Amino acid sequence: MINRREFLKAGMATVPLVYRRDPLDLVAAENAGQVPSGTLVEHDPGIPWQRKLRRIGQTNFTEHDPAVFDIEGWADYWASAKVGAVFISVTGILAFYPSQVPFHRHGKYLNGRDFLGELYTAAKKRGLRTIARYSPDLNWGDALAAHPDWFMRDQQGQPQPTQDDPYLFQTCMFSTYMTDYFPAVMREVISRYDVDAHYSNGWPSFSLPVCYCNICRQLPPPKTPAYWDKFNERVTYLWKLYNSIAQEKKAESFYFLNMGGGIHSTPNLAELGETCHWFQADNQGRGGQDEPIWGAAQQGRVCNAVLDGKMATNVTAGWSTGPIRWREVTKTPAETQTWFDQSLASGMVPYYHIVGGETGLGEDLRWKKIGRDYFNWAARHDEHFVNKSTIANIGVVIGQRTQLFYKAPHGVSMQQNMDAMYYALLEGRFLFDFIHEDRLQLERLRKYSALILPNIALLSDEQCGQLHEYVEQGGSLLATFETSMYTNANERREDFGLADVFGIHLAGEMIGRRGNSNPYLARIERQHPMLNGFADTHWLPGAEYRLPLAPVENPILTVIPGYVAYPPEMSYPSTPRMTEPAVVVSVRGKSRLAYFPGDIEATMWLSGHTDLSLLLQNTIRWVAGDTVPVTIEGKGLIEAFAWETEPGFAVHVLNYTNPNAHRGWVREFYQIGEQKVQFRLPAERRVTRVELLRAERDIPFYAAGDSVEFTIPSVDSYEVAALHSA
């Protein structure tokens, strides 16, 4: 067993010292022929090179690839797909080059070959940027024997093998593996190849790690807010360490990490978003048969919530994602295209990923045409996908702490809870942005007329104060269920943290239905815009669970307590009228406020009841007010985005009208008809041309005052109306 000093000495013995270089020095060096031929040097210091990328490609290499892979064919394909960068495997688990770092095992088909170097050279010959891909999450039994302190342990102190391979073990992010071994691999790569950036896959974990090694036993208990704070400190520390190493050779290089999938990502996205250069979203496709269609678009909204316009990519898998998956078999083209569509529409750079090996031998080449055709279409219209800012008047707060630590009483995951509110927003055809809970400063919120808090249970006192300030400045709020009932440390409050904002007070313990009983009903007490569309009824369905509230003056809906569903002879309310409110609505100056004490969105998701969706849509429309930047009228289930772009503006319409919208995969697309768009223009802007990018033709438009109107004749899977503006 070698000690830490010996390891570092051995691992770095062949790695020459490198120093940070000024970009101007690199330009001079390139002109003098002192950097490798084909090296791309960014001459424009105003825009980082990664923000100029419009498409990304990745073949994930296997141990077998050095024996069989066609490197020139690989590079030709990605160049023909008009990508700007490719990921090439390093990796940390198996070396794809003749590494001399101890415990960086060579693949059994490598045979001393510099496979990584050949890939790098082929990419550079075609003018492609290269991203070195690492995997610091796993290593082998020989490393475990030499460095038992590097690895995760269960409660009995045993190392934790991976589920699929008992000879690979999970490394601990708090160990010196991350500060000794991984930096040694990075520095060795930097010494050999002039890669443009460095990326680590497989870390951080998609769920908070549970480890009982000697280091982790000294940390707060796993899966608690206190542990999450330590987790985020470690992630930030390591990110800065790796980023500094990436810049030792050239200043424009950087390190980025896997920031997970969607709203349930494990690192604090607001913290990393402040410093990261590239948001890598590993959201490759629908992971389960009951996942809704909008997963990639929702991911894009998460990126926009924390990045302030910086680089964001979403990885779309050409291979078969899902609970049963085939890594080297192509999935249906329509499902893949849907993920590309959503990535572009939501503001991300599309990124195509396949696994190497036998795909390169021609066993299944169907993925090639899918990616090349789509990327070549996108390349013809690049300027319209360079976004400046979103156009939306509604913000939806995403709570990472609630996602990670809150336990819903009904067993519905918080992802599904968010999907339910998302569904109502899509059905109502609202334009909206996501807003991270740690970015509620007033200057960030001013553009939104209303904020929605879909059961954001965990909110700090400071965050509650920020929302109070937003309301005092004229902003409107809609909240549901246990929003603000817990502190950011997951400690339950005696009353709502936003009690004074909504004028509500808790009046008892949570109430849910029992056995086969009906949930409570909501009785209509008076008319209100939130009840538009409800005729010939005094009763509406209520939520499965609710927090009883103290009575309020002049309620709109009141609670009818739940009662048995069987036998039918007993299925009637024993108390048909109460004073307990089923919603609390108020107006304070310019602010409109609405609070539902029940888990209305989760109940909507479980039951599918359209009354609950309509009630939410009406309430969102009321709190948001009458000033709407874009309206889209027509048939079908769509998701819409509007952006200010380099040439003007763009309205993206995603068509989700499909029998597989809630159960993957999409088999084919079902065209919808006319979509009438009204777009309110900023002051002193006018539209000179409206172009449909998928149809690739111009359409007529009508401009009057501060708005422009046009009709998209039909939408297959996706259409973009590009508004050229002067």
pLDDT of residue 232 exceeding 80, the answer is: yes
Angle at 564 between CA 560 and CA 570, to 5 degrees: 100
What the block records as the tokens of 267 is: 């690192």
Which residue do the tokens 């807003």 mark? Answer: 435
- Region 75-79: mean pLDDT is 96
Give the model's pLDDT for residue 572.
87
Of residues 259 and 426, the one with the higher pLDDT is 426
Mean pLDDT of the chain: 91
Question: Of all residues in the chain, what percent are helix, strand and coil, respectively (each to 5)?
Answer: 30, 25, 45
Range 385-400 average pLDDT:
96
pLDDT of 119 above 60: yes
Range(s) of the chain covered by CATH 3.20.20: 4-137+177-208+254-388
**Residue 17 above 60 pLDDT?**
no
Q: Are 444 and 451 in contact (CB under 8 A)?
A: no
Average pLDDT over residues 300-316: 93
Q: What is the pLDDT of residue 327?
A: 87
Instruction: Provide the percentage of residues in the chain whose pLDDT is more than 70.
Output: 93
CA dist., res. 549 & res. 578, Å (int): 12
Contact between 721 and 691 under an 8 Å Cβ cutoff? The reply is yes
Residues 6+ apart with CB under 8 A from 66: 96, 107, 109, 110, 111, 113, 115
Count of CA atoms in the C-beta half-sphere (13 A) of 510: 16
Average of per-residue pLDDT across 1-28: 35
Burial class of residue 683, CB neighbours in 10 A (0-12, 13-18, 19+): exposed
Which pLDDT band, with edges at 50, 70 and 90, does 44 fall under?
Answer: low
| pLDDT tens profile 264-303 | 789 999 999 998 999 999 889 987 667 899 999 999 999 9
- Token code pair at residue 285: 């496709």
pLDDT tens string 467-516: 999 999 999 999 999 999 999 999 999 999 999 999 999 999 999 987 77
pLDDT confidence band for 570 (50 / 70 / 90):
confident
Domain with CATH 3.40.50.880 in the chain: 392-624
The superfamily (CATH) of domain 392-624 is: Class I glutamine amidotransferase (GATase) domain (3.40.50.880)
- Provide DSSP, 152-163: -B-TTS-B-B-S
- Cα–Cα distances in angstroms (integers) from residue 159 to residues 94, 136, 155, 168, 227, in the given order: 20, 16, 10, 10, 21
Model confidence at 40, in pLDDT bands (50, 70, 90)?
A: very low
Percent of the chain with pLDDT over 90: 80
- Give me the pLDDT at residue 544, please: 94
For the segment 424-432, the average pLDDT, to the nearest whole number, is 98
For the chain, give every residue range classified as CATH 2.60.40.1180. 630-725
Which residues fall within 8 angstroms of residue 368, CB to CB, at 6 or more apart? 77
- The string of pLDDT tens digits covering residues 356-390 is 866 556 788 899 999 999 999 999 999 999 999 99
Report pLDDT digits (tens) over 322-346.
888 888 889 999 999 999 999 999 9
Using only C-alpha atoms, what is the Rg of the chain? Answer: 27
Q: How far apart (Å, rounded) are the C-alpha atoms in residues 347 and 389? A: 9
CATH code, 4-137+177-208+254-388: 3.20.20
- pLDDT digits over 121-135, tens only? 999 999 999 999 999
From CA 58, how far away is CA 56, in angstroms rounded?
7
pLDDT number for residue 395: 98
- DSSP H or E run through 652: strand 648-655
CATH class of 630-725: mainly beta
